[in-house]
Structure 1
Amino acid sequence: MTRQEKALWAAVIILTAGVLLMGSLIVIRGLKPAGTVHEPDDEQGGLDAVASFDGQMITEDEWVKELKRARGHEMLLQMLNQKAVYAEAQALKIRVSPDEIAGRIQSEAKGYESEDAYYGEMSAQLGLTPEEVRAEAAYQLTLEKIAIVNIHISDDAIDRYIEEHKEEFEPKRQYDLAWIKLKSRREANKALDRLEDGEDFGKLAEELSLDEYTRMQGGRLGLIEEDDPFVPEELLEAAKDLEAGDIAGPIGLKDDGYAVMQIRDIVKTGELSDAEIRVRVNKQLALNEAVPLTELEAKLRDKYGAELITQSSSERQSYIK
């Protein structure tokens, strides 16, 4: 997965993070100034402190009010979407298997060092647990199955697509790369000499590399797809002729400077059987013909009478969405 795809995936599930937050509010107790004892007041529910700053309390009511103001409408709408989608899935006897969820997660985790690294980033960026990430994958898979349940794609259409898009199904390589960026060819050669003398690549990168992003990680770029547009193409071009464990350089860079590169590992991905390719193409072509998924969610909300109710101090209004 490229950095662009990672960002898109984060955008897709960030709303789910908010839904999960609203659906499982946890009152944080004990954040009061030292020596202060706060007893809950049944007549003033929601006034319990959940946080404090400089001696001033933030109450549960204030917290919830701000959450509702910022994302309340979207969160409620997504909660209704989930209820409507799973009601329709039950009516159509549609199920998503654990293997399908695992396959979706594996696809989304491409470009990370491991699935654990992917889950770690989802936790760091969005505060999502692995269970919550898998729940979102299950929801998306269920919605897609509903969208295409009555769409038939002919064998001829599948054959034609495969013939016209052969490159999509060719196995790709991913490189686990590390590099040391240097100012001149001479400095790159000196680094190579030190590596030949047995010095550790990671420690040398921390000492010498000009790249601020990777230097303190021992020069690690991570697991990079062979056509990643965010990695210097000179590195990817050189990697094509190398094997795991090789060190290469000096490599001239278009944006100035030179690089010494280490191939830590090479992984092949996307090796699919003919049957797997046909299943994937059938689903993609069917989704192309289906209504957009957001439109499908709206139709299902209408079908099951989903209703958003907002309340102000003076009146109560209901909106059918």
Structure 2
Amino acid sequence: MSRRLLWGIIIVLLITNIASILILTNGSGGNMSDIMDEENLPKEVAKVGNDTITADQWIKSLRSAYGEDYLKSLINEKVVFQLAEEYDLAVNEKFMERELAITETASGIISEAEREQLRKEWKDDIQYTIYRDELLTRDIVIDEQEIQNYYSQNQDRFDFETSYQLSHIVVDDENTAESILDALNNGQAFGELAEQYSIDTYTNQNGGYLGYFTNDSTYLQNIYFTALNNLEPGQFSEPFETTEGTVILYLHHVIPEVELAYDDVKKHIRRLLAKQKLKVEPSVEVLWEEVGVEWIY
């Protein structure tokens, strides 16, 4: 889970808890800006039997539990991006595409609008990580030959192969498959039909979702990739026979390949090798003095 996503979840939970408590206490929702304004909080935010929890107790507890760590994360982010701008740091575009592609393979089924928004968030997280590691390892000297050797030994690891996001429905016989095909052609959702009919107990409760696969995957039978040749994203296949049963395949999305040359990954390898030479990974806080951080809170 990314740093941004983790803190986002924490903040959402905190806001949700604030709203819930006040709704229960006051009997109405109120305006969210009022809810989050400490001056508008009631003196008591909850009653527990004969006891009460005051707003002051609650706010202090939240700050104690989450406030300092979250504030540090915000400071760290600003420090890293300010120094990245100062030192004119940049991320190789093809390397960024490869990192975004890898991240997307763990995203599940999402809409194009969600994908566009998530890619912006992923890009911010990836940039932060790269800039942070570049800044924290900038004084460590790595010989060019060492970088070249690492690339030669691990070259295949840096390319991203075309990946297909798939779901399937597996049934016992062709007649059932044809009935499902009719339902699909009439607009019924693939996931609903998978839950209802698929005999694949590993995927049917998830709408038949398989995940992302490359052409050299050994998890799926070769006939799956033959069926893919006739599909565009958003399309389903004609039924085909496998050793597991009769299958209808659905193609959600395709992430194209990304091939990286030495120059595309040289800085990444330097960071990897430099971090290996660190006995203890330093905190971003060692960079605070360069920017000038005043801890007010």
Normalised by the length of structure 2, the TM-score is: 0.62
Structure 1 residues 247-258: aligned runs within 5 Å = 247=238, 249-253=240-244, 258=245
Match of 2:265? 280
- Describe the shift of the 1:14–1:57 C-alpha distance in structure 2 as closer, same or farther (beyond 3 A): farther
- Offset, 1:133: 5.5
Match of 2:184 among 197, 200, 204: 200
- The whole-number CA distance in structure 2 between the counterparts of 1:300 and 1:33 is 46
Q: Residue 85 in 1 paired to residue 105 in 2? A: no
Partner of 1:145: 134
How big is the shift at 1:82?
A: 3.2
Q: Sort the Cα spacing of 1:208 and 1:53 in 2 relative to 1 into closer, same or farther, 3 A.
A: farther
Q: CA separation in 2, counterparts of 1:93 and 1:240?
A: 46
Structure 2 CA distance for aligned equivalents of residues 191 and 50 of structure 1: 61
**Structure 1 contact 152–286 (Cα < 8 Å) conserved:** no
The answer on 1:190 being equivalent to 2:175 is yes
Give the match for residue 271 of structure 1: 258
Q: Is residue 162 of structure 1 aligned with residue 188 of structure 2?
A: no
Q: Is the CA contact (8 Å cut-off) linking 1:174 and 1:226 kept in structure 2? A: yes
- Match of 1:226, as an amino acid? T
34, 39, 42: which one aligns with 1:48: 42
Contact preservation (8 Å) 1:248, 1:261: yes
More deviation in 49-58 or 187-196? 49-58
Partner Cα distance (2:159, 2:122) in 1: 28
- TM-score where L is the length of structure 1: 0.59
- Amino-acid identity (%): 17
Name the amino acid aligned to 1:180. I
Inter-partner Cα distance in structure 2 for 1:54 and 1:216: 40
Q: Which runs of no fewer than 5 residues in structure 1 stay unpaired?
A: 1-9, 123-129, 311-321
Deviation per CA, 1:154-192, whole angstroms, max 9, x where unpaired?
Answer: 55444433332242245513223221244xxxx233333
Q: Deviations over 1:11-56 (max 9, x none)?
A: 533444378679x999869735459x9xx9xxx9474379778999
Aligned residues: 272
Could you say which residue in structure 1 is the equivalent of 2:249?
262
Unpaired runs of at least 5, structure 2: 232-236
- Helix, strand or coil at the partner of 1:172: coil
Q: 2:3 aligns with which of 4, 12, 35?
A: 12
Residue identity opposite 1:279 in structure 2: D
Structure 2 counterpart of 1:226 = 214
Verify the 8 A CA contact 1:214 1:221 in the aligned structure 2. yes
SS at match of 1:175: strand
1:225 aligned partner, one-letter code? F
The answer on whether the counterparts of 1:15 and 1:75 sit within 8 Å (CA) in structure 2 is no
Cα distance, 1:209 vs. partner?
1.6
